[in-house]
């Protein structure tokens, strides 16, 4: 009962809040569906997405090539690690 996210926004559309809207909707639907966890992988140089995930309460865990992001929908993580 888990989901994985991947979001790609064209360069011309970045910085307009689309990522935040998509992630907000993803969390809303995940909570309604009773998902236990939503996970994704973020490139370490994607500062905007890392910042957004921190703001939304994702647990961020740096790994070898990327940053693992995880959240329980409807519940903000208390242990956000710096990535």
pLDDT of 39-78, one tens digit each?
999 999 999 999 999 999 999 999 999 999 999 987 765 5
- H/E element, 53: helix 47-56
Asked if 51 contacts 30 with a C-beta cutoff of 8 angstroms, the reply is no
For residues 21 and 81, which has the higher predicted lDDT (pLDDT)?
A: 21
- Work out the burial of residue 52: count CB atoms within 10 Å of its CB; fewer than 13 is exposed, 13-18 middle, 19 or more buried: buried
Read off the tokens for 52.
């957004």
pLDDT at 74: 77
Q: What value does the mean pLDDT of the chain take?
A: 90
> How many C-beta atoms lie closer than 10 Å to residue 71's C-beta?
25
């Amino acid at each position: 009962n888990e989901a994985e996210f991947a979001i790609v926004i064209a360069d011309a559309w970045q910085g307009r809040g689309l990522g935040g809207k998509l992630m907000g909707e993803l969390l809303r639907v995940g909570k309604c569906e009773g998902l236990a966890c939503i996970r994704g992988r973020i490139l370490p140089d994607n500062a905007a997405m890392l910042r957004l995930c921190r703001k939304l309460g994702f647990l961020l865990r740096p790994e070898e090539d990327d940053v693992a992001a995880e959240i329980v929908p409807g519940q903000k993580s208390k242990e956000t690690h710096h990535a």
